[in-house]
Amino acid sequence: MDHLSERWMRLQDLFVSATELEGVERAALLDEGCCGDDELRLEIEAMLRAHAGPLMEVEEAVFGTESEDGVEVGLVGQVVGSYEVIREIGRGGMGMVYLAERVDGYQQQVALKVVRSEFVDSEMARRFRRERQILARLTHPNIAQLLDGGITDDGRPFLVMQRIDGLPITRHCDELRLGLVDRLRLFETVCRAVLFAHRNLIVHRDLKPSNILVSGEGEVKLLDFGIAKLLDPSDDLESIADPGTRSELRLMTPEHAAPEQVKGEPVTTATDTYALGILLYELLTANRPFKGHDTSRSELEREICELPPPPPSLSVARRNRSDPKGMATIAASRASTPERLRRQLKGDLDTIVLHALRKEPDRRYATAEQLAEDIRRYLGGDPVSAQADTWSYRWGRFVLRHSWSVAAGVFFFLCLVVFAGIIFRQSRSLERERDRARLGQDTTEQVTQVLVDLFEVADPYKSPVGGSLRVDELLERHSERVISSLEDQPAVQGRLRHVLGKIHIAHSQFSRGRELLEQALSQRRSISGPEDAEAAGIFHDLAVLRGRTGDLAEARKMLRRSLAWHESHRGEEHETVAQCLQDLAEALPNSSDEKLELLERALELRRRILPPRHVGIASSLNDLALVRLDQSRFEEAVELLSQSKSIVDEALDAGHPFALAVRTNLIGALIQQERLEEGLALQQENLAQQRRIFGDESVSVANSLNSLGTILARKGDWSLAETAFEESLDLWTRLLGPRHPQVVNTTRNLGRIAELLGRPEEALAHLNRAIELRWDSSQPEEDLDYLFIKAQAAAILWQLGRVDAAEEALEETLTLMGRAAQESNYRIVDAQVMLAEVKLRIGRLKEAEALLLDSLGHRVERLEPEHPKIAEARCGLGRVFARSGRREEAGQMFRSCLATYSAWGLAHPDTVAATQRAARQLASGDTDS
């Protein structure tokens, strides 16, 4: 790409982004993006003026009134009623707004609102007359007053309203950099004005920032009761259902519409409550819960009706990831920082907003007054009335309601998840055996008594706390006190710390767990010396914890020491040695041969020394399955996991953490094998149990959300999948810190989803973040996973128009991958296919063909004959052949793969579209010749 064209692309990126921003945010974007290039900046600013300004005359002539901008013949200069129209000051869905002045010498400036001619019909005229009557009655200090009304010469109804000199409430808040408290106070005023209208039986129906102005004096005025509808005074508020209101829907601003408006269901005061929820969302976060741009209107409407809105705090976290500079600006205009803002929103404000935004009108705040009250309570530090929806309510219903028929358009190019997620695997009975061997009987009894005491706190008859406490709350409140009560018995105290440390870890409270284990270890060593068995056990648990929180290198070092210690002190035929082998294997990368070797050794050992249906064997089978999954040997993985599950189902309670882990992994394997139905069924069963045992805040739930996202993505439900991934990422990050491999995994899934949703810039940001995280936690140049993320990022470059950069980066990455792997691997093949796609697009047909033939050979060898990835490679080849005029061969390829595509779909939509186009061209060429 030459210099001029590159500059144009840069200009286009900046310009388009700038059109979506306002005020300080826009300025910040241009500061950042132009980075001192004044010429570029002046040019973009002029373009922004042109963009917002009037059309060229010839544009009006070419596009007429049908233009996407909704051009309307203006009234400027004409006299309407007793007003002279001075200039246009706004356009809405339904009409135009002009600044006008009285012609009879009163010197009064007013806002004159005229309906667009295409909406003028008898119904509209009737509605206008009605609106006039309604508004004449509505006198409130925070509502713009209606002054006059009538019909223009060309038959269009008009209204004359008090002119308000002010800014939309969101801009007002941003320009004054109001903090959350001031914003909430203004919002409360808005609620009370809406309430006044509701008491007069008037629903606004189109509340949005541009309809809520704040004057220079800080006075709030609600405007434009444009589609307000008189509620029938003979009915009560709940039973209003007038089918006549439905035709108004097309006039709505969809970003602010409530689900019932989108669906054409009756509109009530609860509809305004919803709009107030959206307004509050925007005031707090500068974002809207559902994205208007980049998605089609029907997609937006589906989001409004089906998608759970992300909590405002999550929206902030989300924006902070994709656009940290922008989010910093947004937070600054709220006198805050992104992280602080997120924390401020988390909790009550999230709950209040989500309560107002519930899909079902009767589950929202019953009145605007209740909403205003909750705001007042929040500001006063009192508990709010709104209740958060449970996690299972928010998600369960979407999962349940989804039918498989929507799966027709599922396109996936790559596996989304390299499933690495065994969470808990300790066999409790083994642990108990070990404990008994290590400790004197009396110490065990003392610890038991202390724990019994601790749990008695939770008994409502023995404790004033009341209610039943969950274990994690109990630990948080009382563990410190119990530990310090044992100051004079260091052996018991150390043992208790060890036990409590492990309980904390089991509840995902890793940093506290680690602290307790470290204290226990030093305590034990000071009593019994370094060669003590219990110290060795604590040391081992610490090593495992290291690995689970992402510090794999250190974990490996420690685990090798632990293995050596156990082998020399226990002999090689001992269960703890098998456990050591397995734990060390977990800390090794999937591609390493040593890992497989260790796991097989552990399994053999267990088969020798344990009964055949022992959970220890199930645990080994599980870990082996994860390696098989990674090698795309899905069938074997499913088989191993099914064996493991059958043992576990028998030996453990259904809610046992290990049972849940095996099931979660089996779900992952089924997804990979495209057995989505079975995966989803198992997933639902698993979710309920996980929530019951771990609560909403646990790695299990995070993991489930990630699998759920994967299933949804596979089904083509990308928006919903994105939310699932985001919630998962949020949980992972909070529980495991930002550097854990699972964080990388889910970040990468988010990147893939953003790409599919047509947001390549954001996708690239996610992937770059994943690369950065990965770089910190492993030896990157040898790690196929890491390299594969780089390939994914490179492939996105071509979508951003940087074709040459994409080609170069992909080639470089493939070279590294070839060096890192002993033999060809599915990740290498996937990356080859990406490179082939780039080559195909830039016309390097020979090179594309070679890559695709190689990939096809590899896939045919390993995958089932009907696998979508085989079809993908065939389609690529078909396109190469079509472009080189080899029609016969192309036709063959297309025929063999199009059927598979329509049944499965597994490629990027653009790729499928290109294939279909190519096939069509070929077909039309065939019939002509």
Partner 1 sequence: MIPSVGMEAEGEVTGWLHRLAQGDGDAFDRLVPLLYDEMRRIASENLRGERREHTLGTTALVHEAYLRLLAGGKIGARDRTQFFGAASRTMRRILVDYARARKSLKRGGGLLTVPLDEAQRLLTHHQASEILAIDEALDRLSRMNDRAARVVHLRFFGGLNTEEIAAVLEISVRSVHRAWVTGRAWLRKEVAADLGIALTDPTTSPRQE
Please report whether residue 608 would count as binding partner 1 according to CB under 8 A: no
Is the Cβ–Cβ distance between 117 and 152 less than 8 Å?
A: no
State which residue, 508 or 915, has the beta carbon closest to partner 1. 915
Please report whether residue 92 would count as binding partner 1 according to CB under 8 A: yes
Please report whether residue 758 would count as binding partner 1 according to CB under 8 A: yes
Please report whether residue 11 would count as binding partner 1 according to CB under 8 A: yes
Is the Cβ–Cβ distance between 621 and 640 less than 8 Å?
A: yes
DSSP symbol at 54: P
DSSP symbol at 363: G
CA–CA separation, 841 vs 851, rounded Å? 14
Select from 10-18, 568-576, 600-608, 723-731 the region that touches partner 1 (CB under 8 A).
10-18
* Minimum distance from residue 62 beta carbon to partner 1 (Å): 5
* Minimum distance from residue 303 beta carbon to partner 1 (Å): 17
Select from 162-170, 320-328, 445-453, 843-851 the region that touches partner 1 (CB under 8 A).
162-170
* Minimum distance from residue 31 beta carbon to partner 1 (Å): 18
- Residues 6 or more apart whose Cβ sits within 8 Å of residue 577: 563, 566, 567, 570, 571, 605
DSSP symbol at 655: T
CA–CA separation, 369 vs 195, rounded Å? 6
Please report whether residue 176 would count as binding partner 1 according to CB under 8 A: no
Residues 101-130 contacting partner 1, CB under 8 A: 111
Binding mask 903-922 for partner 1 (x = CB under 8 A): -------x---x--x--xx-
* Minimum distance from residue 59 beta carbon to partner 1 (Å): 8
Secondary structure class of 459 (helix, strand, coil): coil
Is the Cβ–Cβ distance between 526 and 498 less than 8 Å?
A: no
Among 210, 392, 646, 896, binds partner 1 (CB under 8 A): 210
Among 194, 197, 203, 213, binds partner 1 (CB under 8 A): 213
Q: Which residues pair with 351 in a beta bridge?
A: none
Select from 128-136, 163-171, 487-495, 831-839 the region that touches partner 1 (CB under 8 A).
163-171
* Minimum distance from residue 871 beta carbon to partner 1 (Å): 21
CA–CA separation, 708 vs 389, rounded Å? 19
CA–CA separation, 924 vs 891, rounded Å? 12
* Minimum distance from residue 111 beta carbon to partner 1 (Å): 5
User: What DSSP string runs through 136-168?
Assistant: HH--BTTBPPEEEEEE-TTS-EEEEEE---EEE
Helix (H) or strand (E) holding 215: strand 212-215
CA–CA separation, 192 vs 59, rounded Å? 44
State which residue, 63 or 404, has the beta carbon closest to partner 1. 63
State which residue, 44 or 835, has the beta carbon closest to partner 1. 44
State which residue, 300 or 469, has the beta carbon closest to partner 1. 300
Please report whether residue 211 would count as binding partner 1 according to CB under 8 A: yes
Please report whether residue 48 would count as binding partner 1 according to CB under 8 A: yes
State which residue, 43 or 255, has the beta carbon closest to partner 1. 43
Select from 46-54, 339-347, 675-683, 769-777 the region that touches partner 1 (CB under 8 A).
46-54
Is the Cβ–Cβ distance between 113 and 132 less than 8 Å?
A: no
Is the Cβ–Cβ distance between 809 and 768 less than 8 Å?
A: no
Among 131, 224, 534, 727, binds partner 1 (CB under 8 A): 224
CA–CA separation, 856 vs 879, rounded Å? 14
CA–CA separation, 249 vs 257, rounded Å? 9
CA–CA separation, 103 vs 78, rounded Å? 11
* Minimum distance from residue 672 beta carbon to partner 1 (Å): 29
Is the Cβ–Cβ distance between 364 and 358 less than 8 Å?
A: yes
* Minimum distance from residue 213 beta carbon to partner 1 (Å): 7
Among 12, 429, 485, 526, binds partner 1 (CB under 8 A): 12
Please report whether residue 89 would count as binding partner 1 according to CB under 8 A: yes
Q: Which among 174, 206, 717, 785 is annotated as catalytic?
A: 206
Select from 157-165, 262-270, 331-339, 389-397 the region that touches partner 1 (CB under 8 A).
157-165
Select from 52-60, 120-128, 806-814, 865-873 the region that touches partner 1 (CB under 8 A).
52-60
Angle made by CA atoms 569, 572, 578, in degrees to the nearest 5: 105
Among 71, 81, 86, 90, binds partner 1 (CB under 8 A): 90
Secondary structure of 377-444 in HEC code, one letter for each residue? HHHCCCCCCCCCCCHHHHHHHHHHHCCHHHHHHCCCCCCCCCCCCCCCCCCHHHHHHHHHHHCCHHHH
Of 178, 180, 668, 50, nearest in space to 416 by CA: 668
Secondary structure class of 1 (helix, strand, coil): coil
Q: Which two tokens stand for residue 46?
A: 């002029």
| Whether 350 is catalytic | no
Secondary structure class of 467 (helix, strand, coil): coil
Among 32, 62, 597, 653, binds partner 1 (CB under 8 A): 62
Tell me the number of residues near partner 1 by CB under 8 A. 58
Select from 208-216, 235-243, 513-521, 670-678 the region that touches partner 1 (CB under 8 A).
208-216
Please report whether residue 297 would count as binding partner 1 according to CB under 8 A: no
CA–CA separation, 284 vs 301, rounded Å? 23
CA–CA separation, 111 vs 163, rounded Å? 5
CA–CA separation, 319 vs 328, rounded Å? 10
In 588-633, DSSP assigns E strands to none
CA–CA separation, 121 vs 170, rounded Å? 35
Among 97, 368, 417, 711, binds partner 1 (CB under 8 A): 97
Among 35, 36, 38, 58, binds partner 1 (CB under 8 A): 58
State which residue, 224 or 348, has the beta carbon closest to partner 1. 224
Binding mask 329-358 for partner 1 (x = CB under 8 A): ------------------------------
Residues 16-45 contacting partner 1, CB under 8 A: 16, 19, 22, 43
Among 21, 71, 164, 399, binds partner 1 (CB under 8 A): 164
Site residues (vs partner 1, CB under 8 A)? 4-5, 7-9, 11-12, 15-16, 19, 22, 43, 46-53, 55-59, 61-64, 89-92, 97, 99, 111, 163-167, 210-211, 213, 223-224, 294, 758, 910, 914, 917, 920-921, 924-925, 927-929
Residues with a catalytic annotation lie at 206
